[in-house]
């Protein structure tokens, strides 16, 4: 797997296809490979060069403190050095937050942006969830894999997915075989998102699509709608029957929305 060296850190990435570049940025604790099942093939087939990156703290060992600024700087360097300059950016959850901040600090690097499962400000539940995840990790307690898989499914998937016996079982097996949480992912939990950025995002000038998932418990759809309302001229799409992992649950709907948006600004 190729790497981009940033100081003493190697950021792992993968790429496929040719054409205009699209950089896909994953969420907390996730790696770039999460995009390869559905989004990368669809974008490559549509004529794009697609790059996926492992954020600092995922894929590369990282135990020290992390800052939003450091991860945004990593993303800016990746766009400059690997993507080759201004490109389209797609992020989910934490990845979307990083893209949002890049649109403010380095708008020259973004042609278009897609923000999935994101928000403009925290709320009581998001603060409590982050605090609880940190407490669990720091306690040293390891949940039984079966229990952890069920909890993860209920938190991140839609009721429709969970009501389908075969799909639910498939997801549970995936979660049990790929448990969440490591030292790098723990470091990402310390990122300071505890700021209301609604006024700041009114300065974004990059054409932006905000995608929310109707059954998302982690980042409820009204928060995505509010984010879109903050960004001048932003488009908004809400995908039904999808939870926080909506880009994996409803990939066709997500890919259609992203590709249609890209075609608006060829």
Question: pTM, whole model, 2 decimals?
Answer: 0.94
Residue 184: pLDDT above 60?
Answer: no
Helix (H, G, I), strand (E, B) or coil at 127: helix
Task: Check residue 130 and give its pLDDT.
Answer: 84
Q: Which residue has the tokens 């709907």?
A: 253
Average pLDDT score over residue span 161-181: 90
Residue 188 confidence class, pLDDT cut points 50, 70, 90: confident
- Chain centre to alpha carbon of residue 157: 15
Helix (H, G, I), strand (E, B) or coil at 100: helix
Helix (H, G, I), strand (E, B) or coil at 96: helix
pLDDT tens for 119-128 read 999 999 888 9
Catalytic residues: 93, 216, 244
Q: From residue 141, give the alpha-carbon distance in Å to each of 14, 49, 126, 155.
A: 34, 42, 22, 19
């Amino acid at each position: 797997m190729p790497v981009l060296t940033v100081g003493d850190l190697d950021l792992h990435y993968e790429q496929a296809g040719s054409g205009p570049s699209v950089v896909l940025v994953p969420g907390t604790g996730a790696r770039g490979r999460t995009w390869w099942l559905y989004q990368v093939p669809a974008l490559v087939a549509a004529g794009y060069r697609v790059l996926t990156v492992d954020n600092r703290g995922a894929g590369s060992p990282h135990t020290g403190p992390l800052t939003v600024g450091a991860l945004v700087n990593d993303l800016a360097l990746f766009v400059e050095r690997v993507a080759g300059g201004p490109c389209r950016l797609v992020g989910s959850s934490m990845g979307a937050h990083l893209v949002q901040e890049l649109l403010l600090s380095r708008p020259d690097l973004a042609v278009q942006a897609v923000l999935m499962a994101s928000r403009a400000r925290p709320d009581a539940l998001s603060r409590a969830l982050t605090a609880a995840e940190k407490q669990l990790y720091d306690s040293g307690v390891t949940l039984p894999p079966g229990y952890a898989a069920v909890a993860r499914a209920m938190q991140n998937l839609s009721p429709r997915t969970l009501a389908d016996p075969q799909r639910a079982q498939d997801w549970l097996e995936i979660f049990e075989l790929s448990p969440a949480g490591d030292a790098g992912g723990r470091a990402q939990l310390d990122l300071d998102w505890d700021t209301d950025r609604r006024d700041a995002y009114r300065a974004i000038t990059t054409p932006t699509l905000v995608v929310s998932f109707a059954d998302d418990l982690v980042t409820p759809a009204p928060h995505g709608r509010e984010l879109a309302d903050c960004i001048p001229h932003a488009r908004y799409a809400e995908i039904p029957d999808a939870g926080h992992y909506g880009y994996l649950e409803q990939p066709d709907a997500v890919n259609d929305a992203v590709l249609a948006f890209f075609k608006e600004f060829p």
